[in-house]
């Protein structure tokens, strides 16, 4: 393939939220013509936390539908489900043997998740970044478009690739990290000092499947500050800065242009305008397309089957090379 390769994935645990869309997912759409792209519903990653089986199956299909509804063309991209290609798990085991306990123990997400659920500190949660490295390295990935919160995991993927290459020669492509300049970290509406997350309370997060009424209500309740001036100042005005960033991305303008548009206006006007922009430009068009796609089970099944086969065809070349290098009979 002449074009460089991109890989990224998203977990099927609940529905993607506005931060997912404005950060990685929107970035994926912008990259699909320039690169050979693999975008994966990472259901293997999802089970580090206990999942209801029927719910996981439903969420996996729904997420695939949403990815297409958000603009990812299944003819241009390889859109597939992680567990449909066993190469992910095979390479993950091999890379476990080239990753150090100390490296995994320093992972911020492991520390945070293990503190939240001390009764479920399982080995999968600890070695999650190794599976993520396998996801990426399996396809000779050049570029990984992700949010800022995944930078540490991507650095580990690079370290493991370099370590393996130093032992066995030029086997893995060392991936580069691609983080968008704006939208990389959309913040919570209720707690603007931290990232928006679908695991937060209802008013903090905008789901892509929220009703327009719910979206407007959440924006109107967004936490701001006791001042009256609308300006972009992340340190002193995180809530207002977050709203301005959301508005700028949604309307296709710079943050400075967004701030200028609201000069002299009040916080209520800003909140209403941001809500209306998100509803009109994102929520309604995405949901209309999603409803079409999710109703066509045969179409989804065909995409999953065909694209898993395409992914396997690419991944098997590198996996076979790795197996030979470490001494397996292949």
- Compute φ and ψ for 255, nearest 5 degrees: -65, -35
For residue 91, list its beta bridge partners. Answer: none
Q: Report the candidate in 99, 85, 105 with the shortest Cα–Cα distance to residue 157.
A: 99
Q: Are the C-beta atoms of 23 and 180 separated by less than 8 Å?
A: yes
d(CA 1, CA 300): 26
The residues assigned a catalytic role are 113, 195, 198
The SS3 call for residue 192 is coil
Q: What secondary structure letter does DSSP report for 115?
A: H
Cα 257 to Cα 248: distance, rounded to the nearest angstrom: 8
Question: Which runs of consecutive H residues, i.e. helices, occur in 32-107?
Answer: 43-46, 53-69, 87-96, 101-105
Q: What is the DSSP code (8-state) at residue 236?
A: T
Distance between CA atoms of 32 and 67, rounded to whole angstroms? 13
**Residue 308: how many CB atoms within 10 A of its CB?**
19
C-alpha 231/C-alpha 148 separation (Å) is: 23
Cβ neighbours of 322 (radius 10 Å): 22
């Amino acid at each position: 393939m002449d074009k460089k390769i991109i890989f990224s994935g998203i977990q099927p645990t609940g529905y993607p939220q506005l931060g997912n869309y404005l950060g990685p997912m929107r970035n994926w759409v912008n990259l699909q013509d320039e690169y050979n792209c693999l975008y994966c519903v990472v259901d293997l990653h999802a089970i580090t936390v206990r999942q209801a089986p029927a719910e996981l199956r439903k969420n996996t299909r729904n997420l695939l539908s949403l990815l297409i509804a958000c603009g990812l063309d299944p003819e241009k991209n390889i859109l597939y489900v992680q567990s449909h290609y066993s190469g992910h798990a095979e390479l993950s085991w091999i890379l476990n043997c080239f990753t150090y306990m100390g490296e995994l123990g320093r992972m911020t997400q492991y520390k945070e998740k293990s503190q939240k659920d001390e009764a479920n500190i399982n080995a999968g949660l600890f070695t999650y970044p190794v599976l993520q490295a396998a996801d990426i390295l399996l396809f000779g990935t050049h570029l990984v478009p992700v949010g800022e919160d995944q930078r540490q995991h991507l650095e580990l993927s690079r370290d493991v690739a370099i370590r393996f290459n130093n032992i066995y020669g030029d086997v893995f492509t060392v991936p580069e990290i691609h983080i968008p300049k704006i939208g990389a970290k959309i913040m919570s509406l209720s707690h603007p000092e931290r990232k928006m997350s679908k695991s937060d309370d209802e008013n903090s997060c905008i789901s892509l499947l929220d009703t327009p009424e719910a979206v407007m209500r959440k924006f109107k309740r967004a936490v701001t500050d006791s001042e009256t001036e609308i300006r972009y100042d992340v340190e002193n005005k995180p809530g207002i800065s977050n709203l301005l960033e959301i508005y700028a991305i949604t309307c296709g303008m710079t943050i400075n242009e967004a701030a200028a548009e609201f000069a002299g206006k009040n916080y209520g006007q800003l909140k209403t305008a941001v809500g209306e922009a998100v509803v009109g430009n994102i929520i309604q068009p995405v949901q209309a397309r999603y409803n079409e796609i999710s109703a066509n089970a045969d179409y989804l099944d065909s995409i999953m089957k065909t694209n898993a086969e395409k992914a396997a065809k690419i991944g098997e070349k590198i996996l076979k090379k790795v197996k030979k290098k470490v001494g397996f009979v292949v």
